[in-house]
Structure 1
Amino acid sequence: MKKQLLSILVTFLISLPGFAQSSYYFPGESFDPSIPSPEEFLGYPIGDWHTRYDLIVKYYEKLDEISELAVLKTIGYTHEHRPKIILTIASAAHMSNLEEIRKTQVQLADPSQPKPDVTNMPAIIHLGYGVHGNEPSSAEAAMLTAYWLLASQSELAQNLRKNSVVHFDPTVNPDGRDRHSLWANSNKGFPPVSDPLDREHNEAWPGGRTNHYWFDLNRDWLPLAHPESQVKIAWYHDWYPNVTTDFHEMGTDGTYFFEPTKPFGSENPVVPRKNYDDLNVRFAKYFAEYLDEIGSLYWTKEVFDNSYPGYGSTYPDIQGGLGLVFEQASSRGHLQSSQRGDVSFAFTIKNHLLSSIATMEAGLDNREYMHDYLREFFETAVAEGAKDPAKNYVFGDEFDESRNNLFVKFLLDHKIDVYENNADISSEGYSFKKGQSWIVPTAQPQYRMVRTMFEDVKEFADSVFYDASAWTMARAYGMPFAPNSSIKSGDQLKEAPVSSYDFPAGKAYAYLIDWADYYAPKMLFDLQEAGVHVEIINRPFTAKTQNGDTKFAAGTLMIPTGFQKLEAEKLKEVVQELAKENSQQIFATTTGMNLEGIDLGSNLVGAATKPKVIMVVGEGISSYEAGEIWYLMDSQLGMPITKVNTEDMGRVNLYDFTTLILPTGNYNSLSESVVTHLKDWISRGGTVISMKSASLWMNQKGIIKETLIDNEEEEKAAEPKNLPFALQGDYEGAKSVGGSIYMAKLDLTHPIAYGYQREELPVYRNNSIFMKPSENKYLTPIRYTENPHLGGYISDANLDKLKQSASVIISPVGSGRVVNFFDSPNFRGAWFGTNKLFLNAIFFGDLMD
Structure 2
Amino acid sequence: MKYLITAVALLLSLSITAQIKSPSEFLPNYGKNVSYYHQVEDYFEHLTQNSDMIQKKNYGQTTQERNLNVYYISSAENLRNIENIRVSNLSQIGMSDAKISNINDKAIVWLSFNVHGNEPAATESAMSVAYQLLNPDNKETKEWLRNTLVILDPCLNPDGFSRYGNWLRDVSGKNTHPGIYDREHMEPWPGGRQNHYDYDLNRDWAWQTQIETRQRMALYNEWMPMVHVDVHEMGFNEPYFFPPAAEPVHDFITKAQRDFHNTIGEMTAKKFDAKGWNYYTRERFDLFYPSYGDTYPSFNGAVGMTYEQGGIGAGRAVMMTNGNVLTLQDRIDHHIAAVLTAVETASWKKDKLVKDFRAYFKDSRENLKGKYKTYVVKNSGKTEQLAKLLKRNKIQYSYAAESKKTSGYHYQSDKDKDFTIEPNDLIVKADQPKAVLTQVLFEPSQRLTDSLSYDITAWALPHAYGVDSYALKGNLSIDTKVEITRKGKFEYEGVYAYYVPWNGRESAKVLGLLLNSGVKVRSSRKASAFRGIKVSPGDLVILKGDNPQLVDFKNMMDAFVDKKSDYEVIESGYSLNGGDLGGENYPLLETPRVLLLSGNGVSATDFGQVWFYMDEIINYPVSIVDIQNFGRVNMSEFNTLVLTDGWYDLSDNQKSKIDDFIIDGGKVIAIAGALNIFEDRPGYSLTKFASASAKEQETTEHDEEILKARYNDYQNAERRALSGSVPGAIVENVIDKSHPLSFGLGDKYFSLKTSDSRYQLLKNAWNVAYVPAGYKNFGFIGRSLKKKLENTVTFAVEQKGRGSVIYMVDNPLFRGFWENGNLLFSNALFLVD
TM-score over 0.5 for the pair: yes
Q: Does the 8 A contact of 2:197 with 2:608 survive in 1?
A: yes
How many angstroms apart in 2 are the aligned matches of 1:380 and 1:812?
A: 58
Question: Does the 8 Å CA contact 1:138/1:248 hold for their aligned counterparts?
Answer: yes
State whether residues 402 and 479 of structure 2, in contact with CA within 8 Å, keep that contact through their aligned partners in structure 1. no
For the 8 Å contact 1:457–1:470, the answer to whether it is kept is: yes
**Aligned AA (2:253):** V
Determine the structure 2 residue equivalent to 1:574: 556
- The amino acid that maps onto 1:453 is L
Equivalent residue for 1:188, pick from 144, 150, 172: 172
Match of 1:480 among 462, 468, 485: 468
1:836 to 823, 829, 833: 823
Identity %: 28
**Is residue 2:361 matched to residue 1:378?**
yes
Deviation of 1:604 (Å): 3.1
Supply the distance in 2 between the matched residues of 1:773 and 1:239 (Cα, whole angstroms): 51
Map of 1:6 onto structure 2:
none
1:684/1:440 CA distance change after superposition, 3 Å = same
SS of residue in 1 equivalent to 2:450: coil
From the superposition, tell whether residues 460 and 115 of structure 1 become closer, same or farther in structure 2 (CA, over 3 Å): farther
SS in 1 for 2:712: coil
Amino acid at match of 1:420: Y
Asked whether the 8 Å contact 1:32–1:153 carries over to 2, the reply is no
Tell me how far apart the structure 1 counterparts of residues 111 and 199 of structure 2 sit (CA, whole Å): 22
Q: Which of 726, 729, 732 is the aligned partner of 1:737?
A: 726
- Corresponding letter in the other structure for 2:535: F
**Equivalent residue for 2:665?**
685
Deviation at 1:697, TM superposition (A): 2.5
SS of 2:424 mapped into structure 1: coil
Q: How does 1:477-516 map to 2 (within 5 A)?
A: 477-484=465-472, 485=474, 487-491=476-480, 493=482, 502=489, 506-516=493-503
Corresponding position: 1:82 with 2:71: no
- Whether the 8 Å contact between 2:495 and 2:554 is mirrored in structure 1 is no
Partner of residue 413, structure 2: none
Q: Is the 8 A contact 2:680 2:687 kept in 1?
A: no
Aligned counterpart for 1:406 among listed residues 357, 362, 385: 385
Question: Which of the residues 621, 637, 645 maps onto 2:602?
Answer: 621
Which residue of 691, 713, 717 corresponds with 2:700?
Answer: 713
What CA distance in whole angstroms lies between the structure 2 residues aligned with 1:572 and 1:540? 25
| Selected match of 1:450 from 438, 449, 452 | 438
Q: Deviations over 1:558-617 (max 9, x none)?
A: 211123242431x3222111211x324332222222111111111332221110111112
Structure 2 CA distance for aligned equivalents of residues 482 and 458 of structure 1: 17
Q: Deviations over 1:697-744 (max 9, x none)?
A: 211443522230452431442454322212122221442211110121
User: Runs of 4+ in structure 1 displaced over 6 angstroms?
Assistant: 111-120, 498-501
**Per-residue CA distance 1:265-287 (angstroms, 9 max, x = gap):** 331232123322x1111111221
Q: Which moved more, 1:707-716 or 1:142-151?
A: 707-716
Contact 2:106 2:354 in 1 (8 A): no
Q: Answer yes or no: is 1:728 the counterpart of 2:712.
A: no
Offset at residue 343 of structure 1 (A) = 0.5
Deviations 1:137-166 (A, max 9, x none): 010110111111112422212202322111
Please give the secondary structure, in 2, of the residue aligned with 1:457: coil
State the one-letter code of the partner of 1:323. Answer: G
> What is the one-letter code of the residue matched to 1:804?
N
1:501/1:585 contact within 8 Å kept: no
Q: Does the 8 A contact of 2:401 with 2:424 survive in 1?
A: no
TM-score for the superposition, normalised by structure 1: 0.90
What is the CA–CA distance in structure 2 between the aligned matches of 1:104 and 1:567, rounded to whole Å? 58
Counterpart-to-counterpart distance in 2, 1:800 and 1:470: 19
Q: Distance in 2 between matches of 1:31 and 1:201?
A: 42
Within 1, Cα distance between the matches of 2:777 and 2:326?
Answer: 45
1:760 equivalent to 2:742? Answer no
| Equivalent of 1:437 in 408, 415, 425 | 425
What SS is found at the alignment partner of 1:699? coil
Judged with a 3 Å threshold, the aligned counterparts in structure 2 of structure 1 residues 699 and 163 are, in CA distance, closer, same or farther, namely same
The residue that corresponds to 2:251 in the other structure is 269
Shift of 1:351: 0.4
Letter of the 1:510 counterpart: A
1:436 maps to a residue whose letter is: N
Q: 1:171-182 residue pairs with structure 2 within 5 A?
A: 171-182=155-166
Matched AA of 2:454? Y
The residue that corresponds to 1:338 in the other structure is 320
Distance 1:502 1:93, change over 3 A: farther
**Matches of residues 117-196 of structure 1 in structure 2 within 5 Å?**
121-196=105-180
Partner deviation per Cα, 1:212-234 (whole Å, 9 max, x = no partner): 11111111011111121112222
1:18 corresponds to which residue?
Answer: none
Deviation at 1:642, TM superposition (A): 1.4
Alignment check: 8 A CA contact 1:134 1:176 kept? yes
Q: 1:779 aligns with which of 766, 770, 773?
A: 766
RMSD: 2.4
The equivalent position to 1:558 in structure 2, one of 541, 550, 573, is: 541
- State the distance in 1 between where 2:102 and 2:627 align: 59
Equivalent position SS for 2:790: helix
How far, CA to CA, are the matches of 1:486 and 1:384 in structure 2? 13
Partner Cα separation in structure 1 for residue 253 and residue 633 of structure 2 = 51
Do residues 348 (structure 1) and 331 (structure 2) align? Answer: yes
TM-score normalised to the size of structure 2?
A: 0.92
Q: In the alignment, is the contact (CA less than 8 A) between 1:743 and 1:761 conserved in 2?
A: yes
Equivalents in 2 of 1:337, 1:389: separation in Å? Answer: 51
- 2:635 aligned with 1:654: yes
Is the CA contact (8 Å cut-off) linking 1:615 and 1:661 kept in structure 2? Answer: yes
Q: How many pairs are equivalent?
A: 798
Whichever residue aligns with residue 422 of structure 1, its letter is A
Q: One-letter code of the match for 2:287?
A: N
Check conservation: 1:523, 1:584, Cα contact below 8 A: no
Q: What SS is found at the alignment partner of 2:233?
A: strand
Q: Specify the alignment match of 1:416 in structure 2.
A: 395
What per-residue deviation string (whole Å, max 9, x for no partner) do you get for residues 528-585 of structure 1?
22222212232221112xxx3x21112222211123242431x3222111211x3243
8 Å CA contact 1:108–1:115 kept in 2: the answer is no
Structure 1 counterpart SS, 2:767: coil
Contact 1:51 1:140 in 2 (8 A): yes
- Amino acid of the structure 1 residue aligned with 2:739: H
Deviations 1:280-300 (A, max 9, x none): 111112211222222211111
- Mapped to 2, the partners of 1:653 and 1:433 lie a distance apart of 54
Cα distance per residue 1:736-776 (max 9 Å; x no partner): 211110121221111111223x3212211101111111223
Partner deviation per Cα, 1:91-111 (whole Å, 9 max, x = no partner): 121111110011111123229
Gapped regions of structure 2 (runs ≥ 5): 1-14, 411-416, 690-694
* 2:798 alignment partner, SS class: strand
CA-CA distance at 1:67 after TM superposition? 2.1
Report how far residue 338 of structure 1 moved.
0.5
**Alignment correspondent of 1:22:** none
- Worse-matched range after superposition: 218-227 or 778-787: 778-787
1:96 aligned to 2:75? no
**Distance apart, 1:447 and its partner CA:** 2.0
User: Higher mean Cα deviation, 631-640 or 413-422?
Assistant: 413-422
Q: Take 1:396 and 1:721, find their aligned partners in 2: how far apart are those partners?
A: 53
The structure-2 alpha-carbon separation of the partners of 1:679 and 1:455, relative to structure 1 and needing over 3 Å to count, comes to same
- 1:469 maps to 457
**Is 2:257 the counterpart of 1:257?**
no
Kindly state the Cα deviation for residue 824 of structure 1 after the two structures are TM-superposed.
2.1
Aligned match of 2:342: 359
Alignment partners' CA distance in 2, 1:248 and 1:445: 30
**Amino acid paired to 1:68:** D
